[in-house]
Amino acid sequence: MDKLLISGGGPLSGEIRISGAKNSALPILAATLLADGPVMVSNIPHLHDITTMFELLGCLGVTVTMNEKMQVDVDATTLNNHIAPYDLVKTMRASILVLGPMLAKYGVAKVSFPGGCAIGSRPVDLHLEGLKLMGASVEIDGGYINASVDGRLRGAHITMGIVSVGATENLMMAAALAEGQTIIENAAREPEVVDLAQCINTLGGRVSGAGTSTIVIDGVLSLHRGSYRVMPDRIETATYLAAAVATRGKIKLKDANPKTLGAVLKKLQEAGATITTGIDWIQLDMEKKRPKAVSFATAPYPGFPTDMQAQLTAVNAVAEGSAVIVETVFENRLVQINELNRMGAVISVDKNTASVTGVERLKAAPVMASDLRASASLVIAGLVADGDTVVDRIYHIDRGYECIEEKFQQLGAKIRRIPG
Ligand code: EPZ
């Protein structure tokens, strides 16, 4: 298994380009199953999870062709199989996102039941309950979700018990071709949900209210061919900003969208960062100052994103003062703290709350990644540790960060991949 070797150093400086958003590209690629013709999707990041989604679409018989500009043409009219197999779903839970579109377009879908992962049990009950309300019959058999509907799905009024990004996306895609109107209450408001809604509307869908808690979808008979450009990755953006804060640096991120990062930018300013923004760029300058510790609690958008909790915890580990961090979205998403403490951090955990007292510098150590964002927090920790830190199991990182060592090298970090 590959590892990353990071030599602790000084402030990050320079500028890099932000890639397309993984968590927008994945549902958008699933949504291409709804269309009656090829859909060209651009600004797709080159990530392991995206490759897995391509494999899954290929497995369904969908034609996926990529041009030299990493633009992907997805033609679902060649679909000849309705089964999303265990070996693909087990490597990427987001495979569940093909369930809604496949059911809506073809009336049948068989998707391996996604297991939990390091950060929690990750149930899919909200996805299945919503589809049942739309007239689908759903059975679990032999580890598979078997879903079917006679004729078309029917619009329904769905109130989500918990704010769920994936369930909102799955049900929005299913409703796009359902008969009549679907209303999703307590819907997720994430920018990736908005991006998906805009893509569906580009293909002839009728989705309104995306970005608010109530999304209204008027089903149409079919969606046509089209093209769509995926939004910039807000979590990749925030990760590099957090690394610049921890290392007291000054960086500029191009092809970023500051409008999707309100809660994060506010917290980083509280930590002492000077942030300036444009339509498609963000500059952060710590003026070589040590960050101040900032307390926060994660929450669904527009709250502070759970996908940035591990990274800001790493910043707090070397910040001035103490802070309290509360993880409210996932039940087991503080696991990276054990590894940070092995690097000399002073963090105690009580259930879903972490209390951090910052230290001036961490100490390099061999550490192990447990999930995508925890891996990113260990890279940040390595940048502000004395000595050489080796992060193992970085296949987690390759799922969500395009060219991570090249981008950090461009910002002046001493980081390289060691083939495992
Ligand atoms: C999406 O996961 C993201 N993944 C996650 O990013 C992100 O952390 C999460 O949303 C929250 O923002 C993708 O978009 C591919 P949820 P998702 O459904 O949709 C519970 C990353 O690092 N729940 O919003 O799976 C669930 O257990 C990844 O890029 C149910 O109880 O998250 C959790 O506690 C990690 N029943 C809460 O809702 C359900 O049917 C929020 O989960 C569905 C979810």
Look up the pTM and report it: 0.97
pLDDT in tens, 376-409: 999 999 999 999 999 999 899 999 999 999 999 9
Q: Compute the mean pLDDT over every residue in the chain, rounded to the nearest whole number.
A: 96
Indicate if ligand 1 lies below 6 Å from the C-beta of 145: no
**Residue whose CA is at the smallest distance from ligand 1 atom 34:** 330
Identify the DSSP state of 96.
G
* Cα 390 to ligand 1 centroid, rounded to whole Å: 29
Indicate if ligand 1 lies below 6 Å from the C-beta of 167: yes
* Cα 54 to ligand 1 centroid, rounded to whole Å: 21
What amino acid occupies position 177?
L
For residue 188, which atom of ligand 1 is closest to its CA? Answer: 24
pLDDT-based confidence at 311, cuts 50/70/90? very high
* HSE-up (13 A, CA, CB side) for residue 4: 32
**Residue whose CA is at the smallest distance from ligand 1 atom 43:** 124
Indicate if ligand 1 lies below 6 Å from the C-beta of 26: yes
Using an 8 Å Cβ cutoff, are 392 and 232 in contact? no
% of the chain surpassing 90 pLDDT = 92
Asked if 403 is an active-site residue, the reply is no
- The answer, yes or no, to whether residue 67 has pLDDT greater than 90, is no
Q: Token pair 């549902």 is at which residue? A: 27
3-state secondary structure (DSSP) of residue 15: strand
DSSP string, 185-204: ET----HHHHHHHHHHHHTT
Could you give the CA distance from residue 261 to residue 12 in angstroms, rounded to a whole number?
Answer: 21
